[in-house]
Structure 1
Amino acid sequence: MAHAVEEAGPARPLTMADGTPLKVALARATRRSKIRAFLLVAPLLLFILVTFIFPIVDMLMRSVDNPEVNEAIPQTVAELENWDGEGLPQDAVFAAFIQEMGDRSEGQRRNIGRMGARLNYEDGGFRSLINKSQRAAAKIQDDPMQFALVGFDERWEDKATWPTLDALAETPEFAEVLPETAALLRKWETGNSPFAEKTPKPETYPTLLTELESAQADGSLDRLLPLVQAENEELAALLEKTATGAGEIRENPLRFALVGVDPDWGKPRTWTIIKQVSSPITFSYYLNAVDRTYDIEGNIVMQPEWKQIYVQLFMKTIYVSIGVTVACLILAYPISYLLATLPPSKGNLLLILVLLPFWTSLLVRTTSWIVLLQTQGVINDTLVFLGILSDDNRIEMIYNMTGTIIAMTHILLPFMVLPMYSVMKTISPSYMRAARSLGANPLIAFVRVYMPQTVPGIGAGSILVFILAIGYYITPALVGGQDGQLISNFIAYHMQKSLNWGLAAALGTILLAGVLVMYWLYDRLVGIDNMKLG
């Protein structure tokens, strides 16, 4: 008997009432729900980006950003690339530097000011050197020989040099050997006349150089020097020296002119520092933050001993943070245990006392410790009243490390109590009763049964207190004095006073990296999953 089998056609997709495929409708609904969820968290996400992520990114960029020199003197930086670091740079470097320093536009003046501040971080005194050179650059461009003479020998800057030459210009011997110079000196208005000039006319300087070189070549200078020597022996030696070096001065006037502005421009070290910090990206801030620097050959070396402060500050900050964390743990553990085991009515009252500091300004709490700890404060007065101390032997507990640790321990104590309390509150009393019933004495039961269950709270409180302590600023600033300052105080100093934001950013980045390393170590040793904040 045959049975006919009817083949089914292709399955039709499920649709909504309006004919839209169910799969498409579900995708649209899911997409709309995701958009709504994102819009709900968008304000919080934006807040975190603006107040947390962007500042950290900006700090990281500032710690290596180094545009000041390259923006102010780009041509000079380009020419310095061809300098091997031996001796002074080539003449093209001096020419480019003077040209860029002589630019009087508002933007360039601002760039040069920033460059001076940046270079001053590397070597004190650079700011004044740059400012002095900026003021003189335009004059050098107009009259380089005047500055070149001073750069060749600073005696040309002596107030008596040119008046003495002016007097000698009236003699026939001087006029015969240096005729054009004598004529120009006679035109120089001196004395108390309203038209008096402080220095000879600009053309006097190149003319003097040319004639001195010629006079030495033909031997006529030997006839003039005895006359000058009779008037001023030092001036005669100066003329002879200048005649010998006249050719070199005329070949390199800008080099000598810049040295005439300040002798530091004649030292290779000055140009080495400029070249070292000319890169748009630098790691010198990080080197400075760990008491290192570059030497003149570009090698990483230790800072001078009197500058080696930051490594010690980092170590002191870590020691203080560990000490405060341990002190908070010792004080907070019994308080947390008491909070967790007291009846609710009494426990809530004690919890309010723990939370009470949060209702008081941090500044008020810190200044209260100043009143308590100062030499004539409440604690010392009480100890003197009880006869424990004599009035002449009061304890110094403020404006030192002691005051810093005491105040920070008090302020951070609630941050240790709350995580431990939240964990202890979840521990059932039946565990201790079971241990006691199995023969353990109270101490053994507490150490082997109760305490291991509080490790997540201990870890949470410890890491929270340590992270807060390592970056604390206001309390060490107020009660620490010079001895109780931590790395955060120096970060604030460089941001607010020295304006060395690059170094401040490098110090902050190292501090952040240290916290992340500590967090990683905690995760490896204890396990971050075991940390509970409640």
Structure 2
Amino acid sequence: MAITLSDEVVKNAIDTAALTRRLRILKRRSRFKALLLVAPLMLFLISVFVLPIGLLLTRSVDNRDVSLALPSTAEVLSAWNGTDQPDEALFAALASDLKFSSREQVAEVAKRLNNYESGIRSSLLKTARTIRNAEPPYQPKFAEIDKRWAAPERWNALKQAMPATTDFYLLAALDLQRGENGIESVSPENAVHFDVLVRTFAVSISVTILCVLLGYPLAALMARSRGWVANMLLTLVLLPFWTSLLVRTSAWVVLLQSRGVVNSGLAWLGLIDPAQPLELIYNRVGVLIAMTHILLPFMVLPIYSVMKTIPPVYLRAAASLGAPPLSTFWRVYLPMSMPGVSAGGLLVFILALGYYITPALVGGPRDQMVSYFIAYYANQVTNWGMAAALSAILLVAVLILYAIYNRLIGIDRLRIG
């Protein structure tokens, strides 16, 4: 029997649907195979990069140590209104927690509570040592140890430290605190972190501008050079990567000190008085010089890679149309090289934000950046909350910078090759 036209259409539709399903299955298989190929790398990045950073950032709002070490006190304080005089139930709950807590737990709690009330650390440690052998009633015994236990302010400090999460560290990183009227600024003598953040951004912007001013002409020279001259210039740019950061920073200490190479050379040329050398070290000048030298290759290489792709015919066409060299550079060459400038500027600025070794070695006390204080809180005073809060603010600042860059320029233009 002859196949009708409608049967042929139905058959073609069935074949098309089967082919579509087959292509969809093949596409899923290819995606699954690609996922299997990158899965080890993704697991590695998550385990050694994303997860540790995420755990650190959670410490900026984590406040469970006090409530876990003082569970009975936390339960009684949750029902206390914060204004009445503390009763025997509060003292009994705290005494019970102090008796059953180890010395290490009490020391950690005391250190945490000291962020909410200055001087409570020594008072709590003394109270814990004394109250272990005491019997009820506890209220008069607490008052004998420290009269401040009878005041509601002391117990309000404990109550503020009891919630599992807190914004104390994030606010403190911006020199803010919660007061009677809400969020307010801390006293001027305790305001430190906001100035440090402003200083960090000021130094990073200054270093980025210096790297652009020095790196752009050098990249243009490299792009125009040929043969052994181009190879030599590229080698000189890459040479600092063969030396450790610590060695390069220490070399600037030798060069910039009062009787160092720079001052000795200027004195030999008669440009300065040998008895009055220039102050080039342990100040902002030394920080800018050392950081610019270290970060300059990160600016030169992106600009150079973009300039190498600019066809010379565009410049010759502009010249043939009567454009002077300055106009050719401003209207043709500079716009075409801007993707490299923006990529290098973004890279240098982000790297400069987190610099620690260079400002610590060549800068003075008023030139330390936020990374120094993160290391200080993490390594010296073991205040992980403040270290995490400063890290979180720095990360948020980078994300905001990325968003602004993507909105104004577009991240798709960040190409360096």
TM-score normalised over the length of structure 1? 0.73
- Work out whether residues 121 and 500 of structure 1, in 8 Å CA contact, stay in contact via their aligned partners in 2: no
- Code of the residue aligned with 1:42 in structure 2: it is A
- Code of the residue aligned with 2:87 in structure 1: it is Q
Query: What is the CA–CA distance in structure 2 between the aligned matches of 1:60 and 1:311, rounded to whole Å?
Result: 19
Note if 1:353 corresponds to 2:236: yes
* Match of residue 371 from structure 1: 254
Q: 2:245 aligns with which of 362, 376, 384?
A: 362
- Work out whether residues 116 and 160 of structure 2, in 8 Å CA contact, stay in contact via their aligned partners in 1: no
Note if 1:269 corresponds to 2:266: no
* Match of residue 287 from structure 1: 171
Q: 1:117 aligns with which of 111, 114, 117?
A: 111
Task: Classify 1:23/1:528 alpha carbon distance in 2 versus 1 (closer, same or farther; 3 Å).
Answer: closer
Task: Classify 1:75/1:387 alpha carbon distance in 2 versus 1 (closer, same or farther; 3 Å).
Answer: same
Query: What is the CA–CA distance in structure 2 between the aligned matches of 1:446 and 1:292, rounded to whole Å?
Result: 49
Bigger RCO (CA 8 Å, 6+ sep): 2
Deviates more, 1:492-501 or 1:255-264: 255-264
Measure how far apart 1:39 and its partner are.
2.4
Measure how far apart 1:45 and its partner are.
0.7
- Measured against aligned partners, the alpha-carbon deviations of 1:17-59 in whole angstroms (never above 9, x if no partner) come to xxxx988876665555434322221221112112221123212
Task: Classify 1:6/1:532 alpha carbon distance in 2 versus 1 (closer, same or farther; 3 Å).
Answer: closer
* Match of residue 89 from structure 1: 86
- Measured against aligned partners, the alpha-carbon deviations of 1:191-227 in whole angstroms (never above 9, x if no partner) come to xxxxxxxxxxxxxxxxxxxxxxxxxxxxxxxxxxxxx
Measure how far apart 1:340 and its partner are.
0.5
* Match of residue 70 from structure 1: 67
Measure how far apart 1:130 and its partner are.
1.9
Query: What is the CA–CA distance in structure 1 between the aligned matches of 2:25 and 2:314, rounded to whole Å?
Result: 53
Q: 1:321 aligns with which of 192, 201, 204?
A: 204
* Match of residue 60 from structure 1: 57
1:24-423 pair list within 5 angstroms: 30-103=27-100, 108-141=102-135, 253-295=137-179, 297=180, 299-423=182-306
Moved over 4 A (4+): 4-14, 21-32
1:140 aligned counterpart, secondary structure: coil
1:301 aligned counterpart, secondary structure: strand
Bigger Rg, structure 1 or 2: 1
Measure how far apart 1:110 and its partner are.
3.5
Which sections of structure 1, spanning at least 5 residues, go unmatched?
15-20, 145-252
Query: What is the CA–CA distance in structure 1 between the aligned matches of 2:257 and 2:117, rounded to whole Å?
Result: 40
* Match of residue 484 from structure 1: 367
Task: Classify 1:444/1:122 alpha carbon distance in 2 versus 1 (closer, same or farther; 3 Å).
Answer: same
- Code of the residue aligned with 2:266 in structure 1: it is L
- Measured against aligned partners, the alpha-carbon deviations of 1:300-328 in whole angstroms (never above 9, x if no partner) come to 22212111011111111111000000000
- Work out whether residues 140 and 254 of structure 1, in 8 Å CA contact, stay in contact via their aligned partners in 2: yes
- Work out whether residues 71 and 111 of structure 1, in 8 Å CA contact, stay in contact via their aligned partners in 2: no
2:378 aligned counterpart, secondary structure: helix
* Match of residue 510 from structure 1: 393
- Work out whether residues 103 and 109 of structure 1, in 8 Å CA contact, stay in contact via their aligned partners in 2: no
Which sections of structure 2, spanning at least 5 residues, go unmatched?
none
Query: What is the CA–CA distance in structure 1 between the aligned matches of 2:148 and 2:275, rounded to whole Å?
Result: 55
Task: Classify 1:6/1:406 alpha carbon distance in 2 versus 1 (closer, same or farther; 3 Å).
Answer: closer
- Code of the residue aligned with 1:386 in structure 2: it is L
Task: Classify 1:533/1:51 alpha carbon distance in 2 versus 1 (closer, same or farther; 3 Å).
Answer: farther
Measure how far apart 1:465 and its partner are.
0.3
Measure how far apart 1:272 and its partner are.
1.1
Matched residue pairs, number?
411
* Match of residue 532 from structure 1: 415
Query: What is the CA–CA distance in structure 2 between the aligned matches of 1:42 and 1:257, rounded to whole Å?
Result: 62
- Measured against aligned partners, the alpha-carbon deviations of 1:123-162 in whole angstroms (never above 9, x if no partner) come to 3332222211111122222xx5xxxxxxxxxxxxxxxxxx
- Code of the residue aligned with 1:261 in structure 2: it is I
- Work out whether residues 207 and 292 of structure 2, in 8 Å CA contact, stay in contact via their aligned partners in 1: yes
1:427 aligned counterpart, secondary structure: coil
